[in-house]
């Protein structure tokens, strides 16, 4: 008989989460998925017109989400970046590189027409895999 893997969820309290019906992060076994995350905090966009600052804020929120389900940034194996202006790729890439320079996950950056708020320039989602030796019990 196989053991059923427990699903752990984490919510940031965003007003969108219950309306849309999603969690910021979900962990099943050793795999963690973090939903598309923007630089929105308490209904306000952090870093309006500053792609670098938005990216740093997003990565901080992602780190917090990972920690709440027993993962770390070093466990990230994939990032996906959705940007509204691909000409800002260097600012976004610099912020991403400051966090992931030594971790080196696979990464994708694509330009999209728009995000949920026109002031948002970046949205990032990540996937992490936690090594077996690092069990987490909430």
- Within 46-121, strands assigned E span 76-83, 106-111
Secondary structure E strands in 12-53: 25-28, 31-37, 40-41, 44-45
* Residue percentage of the chain with pLDDT more than 70: 93
Query: Cα separation of 138 and 125, whole Å?
Result: 23
* 68 membership: H or E segment, kind and range: helix 51-68
Q: Are 24 and 41 in contact (CB under 8 A)?
A: no
| Tokens found for residue 75 | 């466990």
pLDDT of 1 reads 43
Give the lowest-confidence range in 9-13, 33-37, 98-102, 127-131: 9-13
CA distance 103 to 73: 8
Q: What average pLDDT does range 46-74 have in this prediction?
A: 97
User: What are the structural domains, with CATH classification, of the chain?
Assistant: 7-129 (3.30.1330.40)
For residue 42, what pLDDT is reported?
Answer: 86
Whether pLDDT at 3 is above 90: no
List, for residues 107-137, the tens digit of each pLDDT value. 999 999 999 999 999 999 999 999 975 555 5
């Amino acid at each position: 008989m196989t053991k059923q893997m427990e699903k752990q969820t984490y919510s940031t309290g965003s007003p969108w989460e219950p309306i849309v019906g999603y969690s910021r992060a979900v962990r099943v076994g050793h795999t963690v998925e973090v939903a598309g995350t923007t630089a929105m905090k308490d209904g306000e966009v952090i870093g309006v017109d500053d792609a670098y600052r938005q990216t740093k804020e997003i990565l901080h929120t992602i780190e917090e989400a990972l920690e709440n389900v027993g993962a770390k940034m070093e466990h990230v194996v994939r990032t996906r970046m959705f940007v509204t202006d691909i000409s800002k790729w260097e600012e976004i890439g610099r912020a991403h590189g400051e966090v992931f320079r030594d971790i080196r996950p696979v990464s994708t950056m694509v330009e999209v027409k728009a995000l949920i708020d026109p002031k948002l320039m970046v949205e990032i989602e990540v996937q992490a895999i936690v090594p077996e030796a690092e069990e987490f019990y909430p």
